[in-house]
Chain A
Amino acid sequence: MIAFWIAAAGLSAVVAALVLRGAAHASLGAGDDASLAVHRRQVSEIDDLADRGLLADGELKTARAEAGRRLIAAADQQQAWPVADPKTRPLILAFAALAPLIALGVYGAVAAPGLADQPYLKRVAQWRNTELSQLSPDQIAAVLQETAKAKPNDPELFRLLALTRLQAGDPTGAAQALRRAVSLAPDRVDLWVGLGEMFIAEAKGEIGADAKRAFAEALKRDPANVIARYNLAKARIAEGDLAGGLADWRAVLAAMPSDDPRRAGFAEEIVQTQARGGLLPEPTAPQEQAAAPAGDGSGVDGFIQGMVASLAAKLQANPDDADGWVKLVRAYAVLGDTTKRDAALAQAQARFAGQPKVLAALRQAAQAPKADTTS
């Protein structure tokens, strides 16, 4: 804070000095001589070019005549520039002093006086010294990330980073960190398994090729790994091989130690899956839904939904806005909401029945292709 005032005062003094110095130096009035100088130089340049033979003779004469006449005209227009008037000096001083004061006043009104800088590294250092429970996941992730820069070869650190990033709603960053961890310690089974689970979480429960590959890598190193085997078997069921998958599951269950707390739930899942003839519906992954990052597509989706809703409300209040209806119909069409689209279309067509241009626009809007918003 004090540093700010010192710096501000210093700058104010420097600019005041610049203004005063300008005023002091200016007393050497130059007059319109400058204009004469240019015209003089023009004449002498023409002479110079002629000396070097770069100007044809005829051209030389006329050019010289014109430049000469301009010189004479400029000399005739000369006006004296009076010498400095010392009475104005106090005025300048007053302005130089007033300028910083005005600036300070405006500054107080539009800026945030006294607010300290918050460089990223300084904040990270602060978080590092803060009780963990008081930090948000993204703050912890930031601390871990800075630590990881200092220790780029510690797989455990990257695993933790991945977990906190996932917690903070950044699955892509999490996968990136875990991939790094795996490349640092390719022999660690838990990392491969974690990566597989991460892919499943990202795909909202679906066990894709990448997840299977990660689990296969885990099994290569630990053929008895329960989670890997469980998930690969689940993938089998998902792909239609119910009997094979269930058999695998039973083998996994049999191999689990008798005091494993997961046994009961797992056994129940096997029974129910068999009864149902397929996989149980997935419970939605909680943290993914809870913390979608602001710049992410879902934010845009929400924004658009909100915009469409407000447009619909506006049209109910003011239904004569043809543009608005076209916009609404197109929006529903693009969103793939065919019921609402057709309702809006019918309503609008009835209202604008006598206006072929609007009707055409409406029809066209209704045919807008649906966007594949998979989010």
Chain B
Amino acid sequence: MITEFGAYALILALVLSALQMGLSAVGGARRMSVLTGAGQGAALGAFLCTGLTFLALVHAFVVSDFSVANVAANSHTAKPMLYKVAGAWGSHEGSMLLWCLVLTGFGAAMAAFGAALPPRLRAYAVATQGALGVLFLAYTVFASNPMTRLVNVPVEGASLNPLLQDPALAFHPPFLYCGYVGFSVVFSFSMAALIEGRVDAAWARWVRPWTLAAWSFLTVGITLGAFWAYYELGWGGWWFWDPVENASFMPWLIGTALLHSAVVLEKRGALPGWTVFLGLAAFTFSMLGAFLVRSGVLTSVHAFAVDPARGILLLTIMGIAAGSGFLLFALRAPSLNSGGLFAPVSRESAIVVNNIILSTATATVLLGTLYPLIREAMDGEAVSVGPPWFNLTFVPLMVLAMAILPAGPLLAWKRGDARLVMRRLWLALACAAILGLVAFAVIAPRHALASAGLALGVWLVAGAVLELAERVRAFRAPWAEVRRRTVGLPRGAWGMTLAHAGLGLFVLGASFETTWRVEAAQALSVGGQLKLGAYELALTDVGAVEGANYIAERGIVKITRGGAPICTAQPERRFYPTGRQTTSEVAICPRVLDDLYVVLGERRAGANGQPAWLVRAFVNPWVRLIFLGPLIMALGGLISLSDRRLRFGVARKAETAA
């Protein structure tokens, strides 16, 4: 009953989305508030229905109802409860349902919290969101229905890929999708503004909170994904320039560009066309990602819900949505007012440069991702584009962007003074140069690039700190004034500083980790020892353990440093009988910033007939920053989001009083 109810609710959601689209569009065009109001009601209804379907699917997973095809294919009674629940979005069908849930959720949010928007803009935006809902819900209902039932109900389910049975991955898709699909709101707002032919500062202010929210979610989602790869795939890498990773990274890059250009539009009324273009592009890249991940046109370590037939449908949906968006843009863009002027040296220019670099970087990632397909289509030659290519193209671009980053926030709007900015940043530059040189000369004499990366990270962090200090006039004004300024600083400013500093931390972590990583591997029998940099590892025992749905060998590895015990790592090698899969469960001993990373490998015959295990261990220095940095960036986004200025319906009086 519950499953069938969910199936009905899903179809009702589709009908309501159609209603939402039609009523809002007609209501907006004819200025009939009854129709637009009804359209908003339909948006709420569509979200309610999708939510109920989602709950019904989760319920089917929780009670292991194998009469639901999706549950039978992706669950198993022996699976721990968390992964039963997470199984609901672990498959193609379930993840598309989650996508629809977030999509209708944002539509409902627009309907519910958009009271402060001009009614026509709101009506068109809600209509566009409804149209997107129709596309994706129709796909879900007719091509990828998660509530499909089986006539011959199997006794047991086929289980979920054990690699996906991991807490980080259980929460990774919801965050990622809130990010991906969050850009649908920006898309809808862009369409609405283009239909109306008006893109101005007010529009930017309405769009910015949605962009910030989507961007923050996406940042967290990508970080969780990278973290998962780091400890689940078992060789300590966290980013592989894999098509699936790129698919999530491209919307992020565009979203980042959009965040910045929207500020220019809001403050100066400049760049309206470009900002709208980015608004359309962000969600287009999200849809492209959905297509790339699911269609299997590119091989990937993350591909798990591949289905080429449905890939074509997704490509069609993307074509319809993005095609109509860019067509409208082409028609309307020439008539958009170009807004305020600015000098070549100004905050606006800095942001334009940032946008050029970020867009180029996005195009680069896109090219690298699709190039194998392009080459194949052109001359049939199969090629690979892997990390070395991205390191030689994408990374220098980003280095360029980050080199000018600290200067941007210090430049004045409209007309800036480069010399003044450099005077304020000399300390950061000095810190960066000195640390980089020290690193080059002392810590690792041969690693020029890594030293440069280190210098760059310091430059970013110090630049962010100095920028904050400059804003509050620290060390230059009396204490009382500094305090007053600090308290009065808008949250948006704090958010920006945090985000930039977080980026710097990430750069520090990434350059440190990739260069000064220590690796050791040896086949150890019980009692064997292994030296890893300054640490000694001893395999003291290997025992068998039995989990809920796996059996495993668990090694006990005692780690000491100069005789002092550091920790005991317990890496596992798990065997999941239901899927007949073996996974390695990495043991991580977290230090303050470093990780000691221990992997238990295959069993093999060791010396004198004793069994031995290939134990691989890494010291991953400063790896914490790689994941902490982006989280701080996301936190910065959320703090900006909480800025009063972005909240709607707050009385101006209350604001100035505060």
Q: Do chains A and B touch in the complex (CB under 8 A)?
A: yes
Interface residues of A (CB under 8 A from B): 1, 3-4, 7-8, 11-12, 14-15, 18-35, 37-42, 44-45, 48-49, 52-54, 56, 58-59, 62-63, 66-67, 70, 73-74, 77, 81-86, 88-89, 92, 95-96, 99-100, 102-104, 106-107, 110-121, 123, 136, 138-139, 141-142, 145, 170, 172-173, 176, 294-297
B119 to chain A, nearest CB (A): 5
Extra A-B contacts (20), CB below 8 Å, given A26-B34, A62-B414: A4-B4, A14-B48, A15-B48, A21-B41, A22-B38, A26-B40, A29-B33, A41-B645, A48-B656, A52-B485, A66-B269, A88-B32, A92-B34, A92-B38, A99-B15, A99-B16, A117-B67, A139-B155, A176-B577, A297-B580
- In the complex, whether B113 has a CB less than 8 A from a CB of chain A is no
- A54 close to B35 (CB less than 8 A): no
Give B1-18 as 1s and 0s: 1 = Cβ < 8 Å from A's Cβ atoms: 111110111011011100
A14 to chain B, nearest CB (A): 7
Candidates B19, B31, B155, B489; contact of A136 at CB < 8 Å: B155
Give B49-83 as 1s and 0s: 1 = Cβ < 8 Å from A's Cβ atoms: 10010000000100111110000000001000000
- In the complex, whether B475 has a CB less than 8 A from a CB of chain A is no
- B652 close to A41 (CB less than 8 A): yes
Question: Which of B194-202, B323-331, B590-598 lies at the interface?
Answer: B194-202
Residue of B nearest to A25 (CB): B37
B489 to chain A, nearest CB (A): 7
Question: Assuming A44-B656, A66-B340, A112-B149, is B64 touching A22 (CB within 8 A)?
Answer: no
Q: Summarize B's interface: helix, strand, loop or mixed.
A: helix
Shortest 4 CB-CB distances between A and B: which pairs? A26-B37, A22-B41, A15-B45, A119-B63
Question: Assuming A29-B119, A66-B269, is B142 touching A11 (CB within 8 A)?
Answer: no
A8 to chain B, nearest CB (A): 5
Compute how far the CA of A111 lies from the CA of B6 in the bound complex, rounded to whole angstroms: 10
- B44 close to A107 (CB less than 8 A): no
Contacts of A45 in B (CB 8 A): 645
Compute how far the CA of A95 lies from the CA of B34 in the bound complex, rounded to whole angstroms: 13
Contacts of A102 in B (CB 8 A): 15
Contacts of B115 in A (CB 8 A): 30
Contacts of A295 in B (CB 8 A): 158, 578-580
Residue of B nearest to A4 (CB): B1
Candidates A14, A81, A121; contact of B33 at CB < 8 Å: A81
Question: Assuming A54-B489, A74-B202, A92-B38, is B33 touching A27 (CB within 8 A)?
Answer: yes
B51 to chain A, nearest CB (A): 11
Candidates B77, B117, B198, B413; contact of A63 at CB < 8 Å: B413
Task: Please name 8 pairs of A and B residues whose Cβ atoms are closer than 8 Å in the assembled complex, sorted by A.
Answer: A11-B9, A11-B49, A19-B19, A26-B33, A92-B38, A142-B77, A142-B155, A176-B546
Residue of B nearest to A80 (CB): B31
Candidates A23, A96, A113, A176; contact of B4 at CB < 8 Å: A113
A36 to chain B, nearest CB (A): 8
- In the complex, whether B160 has a CB less than 8 A from a CB of chain A is no
Number of interface residues of B (CB under 8 A): 87
Compute how far the CA of A357 lies from the CA of B284 in the bound complex, rounded to whole angstroms: 40
- In the complex, whether B484 has a CB less than 8 A from a CB of chain A is yes
Residue of B nearest to A53 (CB): B485
Candidates A18, A77, A85; contact of B45 at CB < 8 Å: A18
- B5 close to A7 (CB less than 8 A): yes
Compute how far the CA of A23 lies from the CA of B66 in the bound complex, rounded to whole angstroms: 42
B32 to chain A, nearest CB (A): 6
